[in-house]
Structure 1
């Protein structure tokens, strides 16, 4: 099937995977949403649901795309296989099977195989994985790569900490439309992989997505990005847009609650149930508790968000743009915190 026919089909099927908010259909997109969709299909190969789910909040959609393009897609100092290894490792650590499946599939294709293991391949990739998401409980590992690669690989790690949280809320566990049996997953992954790898072989100039968002300085906690001007601009612009979304949609007391609870956290689980969150929200006014519960879960345990949590937010007045903006602010706040803890190169 020609790419010009395949892309719209994949895009339409992908949008059916989005839950809790109505997706913006490709043919009905306009303005900033339409331009992001156009770039996403051109440079990533498909209208990827992890990005498209942001469409009810156009500036946040642009932020997600700018980060994905300028860190993962654009060729740079770090090889694409190392980026996909980081993306897979972070996704597994965050209990995001959707993202882990997509990025491990891409890693297998880049390796010329189809391995289901995220650490498959050269020892160098294993070292990168251990740096991005150590699993042995030991001290952080120094970067096993040249300092010039840090902005891209740390950028991919932060991006996936962010996207994993958004995907866990708004997508299913597997990249399949509702009602499609999981036995179809290998076929879907082959088609998606073909589309993504075909797009990856085309030239991608750095910085071509930056004009989607206004210029903004790089926040101090993202100083690891400073060595790559394009990645630094991408994070400066994207984080400014997401911060503004937070000011619009997340009450100040809720923002403070999330940020205070990040202090000292290293990404581990908060509990097997949601009981931990109830003690944190009980000091807030009743009307703020649903959004606070939602924001805390997105930041610390996005896999614990379910329809009841979202329904409570809706009942408290959150519309689709607000849901996306609350999620985006909480997810990026946690992602930035975790990114700042990654060991940086000298």
Structure 2
């Protein structure tokens, strides 16, 4: 079976590409490399896997001709869609590029799928569609009231996918991620952002003695230790969920949506302490005031994904930190 992975040279996309290849799928990545790295595909092309890596199609979802050529020339059976801008702060400053890229780009993709008879898509959505939590753990029935343009673009796409299913029979699974962490356990791919905004890699970067100090924003929240609590799901577990979602669609499953998290939360201080434990290093820390818009607790209720997709996250927070640290050392040549 041939699968096109948009944004396949990015962080989560590249891990999904490897998981698909390891599971025997033939995979084409589609990426404009605005945030993903072409070196990722070059690295993957040299890895021995069960499936065939069909290479990277350098194209843009805002160019319909690119999508049509990729689908036609490679005779794709399904799509897994990661390509999107995803920085909340940037979306507040530049909503125009977020709506254009995330919404218009996805509409172009769905139109091309319709024209080429590709009727299955797994979509990288986000817990940001829920907005400020009214209760935790957050289940799929929680109201969706996003509080930033990034979350609103993802919610718009979810609604679009419902409409394309009803009108054209394109079935979709939308996977709403909580906080993603870790790297490939074989150190084949990992997280590679510039600038880096995620908690764990930023803590780990502070262990290398280059003067970087980790900044903790807010220690006066109404939580067990005063710092924000988040649900950290391992990126390899996340990749497994995409394969299960694809198999669900292949086996005739209908359009649906699922939370991906661990059903447990870790505070920033707990993550910090675990990073020190894994690395064996004392990490420089500076406590600053709260950032606006940071909820105290964000934890997923993942029962629906367990029951319907038969997905069970297996890796621990320590596993995620260990693999992220291995990748960071590899990137630095250590």
TM-score by length of 1: 0.26
Give the structure with the larger helix fraction: 1
Of structures 1 and 2, the one with the larger relative CO (CA 8 A, separation 6+) is 1
Give the structure with the larger strand fraction: 2
